[in-house]
Amino acid sequence: MVPKHENSQYYRKIILIGGTSHCGKTTLAKRMSVEHNIKLISTDSLAKHPGRPWKETPSNNIPEHVKDYYSKLSTKEMMASVLMHYEKLWPTIRDIIRLCIRENTNLIIEGSALLPKLIDHTFSNQVNFIWLTDVPENLRARIYGLSQYEEKLLEEKKMIDKFVDRTIAFDDFLTKDVKDMGLTLTSSNEIKHLESSSLPKIKNYTSLIAEDLLKKNS
């Protein structure tokens, strides 16, 4: 059961933060969670799909199924696979949202598994959305940096490049869906300062987001 929070009179709603990999979802969600003392759930914690094709630590090995996924599938096939995975995961996310609504619980959910067309419109007065996007060069640079791309062997570089291709393709897919549904996209450039800004600036930014979301549903 998701715990309730004392400041429910301020955060009466649930906030969903969606977007492609490495676009800033987790950074924004963690800042908002800490600043406003709200429970945070990542959709990655609910079920795993082949993720990053690089070692998180020197002692970790890349699983064989992850190697196969990035080595053998085309970008189109990877997109079909990940979208099928997210569709299967949606009922679990939906049940969490319903529980929070029923118990008047505050919650932030972040993850790529949050797809605009899967969101139940019956949640429209209870759930707030932030859809993040970023330009391909920023996504690629961020992934190359985190994966230490230049230090990798050729086989690993090829897998990372496929991960980048899927990441950019997913951003294009999500951007189109958000625009087609008349929803609002937020550029990661608007929150990129969160990684290096002082805490007061972060507080101001997240508070403005919170206030704006609540005004829409007051």
Q: What CATH number did the domain enclosing 200 receive?
A: 3.40.50.300
Asked, for residue 124, whether it belongs to a domain, the answer is: yes
Q: Which residues pair with 130 in a beta bridge?
A: 17
Task: Please tell me the predicted confidence (pLDDT) of residue 129.
Answer: 87
Comparing 51 with 123, the larger pLDDT belongs to: 51
Residue 45's domain comprises: 14-216
Asked, for residue 167, whether it belongs to a domain, the answer is: yes
Task: Please tell me the predicted confidence (pLDDT) of residue 205.
Answer: 44
Q: ∠ CA(135), CA(141), CA(146), 5° rounding?
A: 130
In angstroms, the CA 162 to CA 75 distance is 7
Split into its structural domains, the chain has a count of 1
Task: Please tell me the predicted confidence (pLDDT) of residue 120.
Answer: 63
Asked, for residue 2, whether it belongs to a domain, the answer is: no
Asked, for residue 75, whether it belongs to a domain, the answer is: yes
Q: Where are the alpha helices (DSSP H) in 21-74?
A: 25-36, 64-72
Asked, for residue 95, whether it belongs to a domain, the answer is: yes
Task: Please tell me the predicted confidence (pLDDT) of residue 77.
Answer: 97
Of 12, 20, 16, nearest to 136 (Cα)?
20
Of 1, 19, 34, nearest to 138 (Cα)?
19
Residue 55 · residue 62 · CB < 8 Å: yes
Asked, for residue 198, whether it belongs to a domain, the answer is: yes
In angstroms, the CA 173 to CA 176 distance is 5
Range 201-210 average pLDDT: 46
In this predicted model, what pLDDT tens digit does every residue of 45-99 receive, in sequence order? 998 788 889 877 665 788 899 999 999 999 999 999 999 999 999 999 999 999 9
Asked if residue 153 has pLDDT above 80, the reply is: yes
In this predicted model, what pLDDT tens digit does every residue of 17-36 receive, in sequence order? 999 999 999 989 998 888 88
Asked, for residue 6, whether it belongs to a domain, the answer is: no
* Single pTM value for the model: 0.81
Asked, for residue 69, whether it belongs to a domain, the answer is: yes
CA atoms within 13 A on the CB side of 161: 10
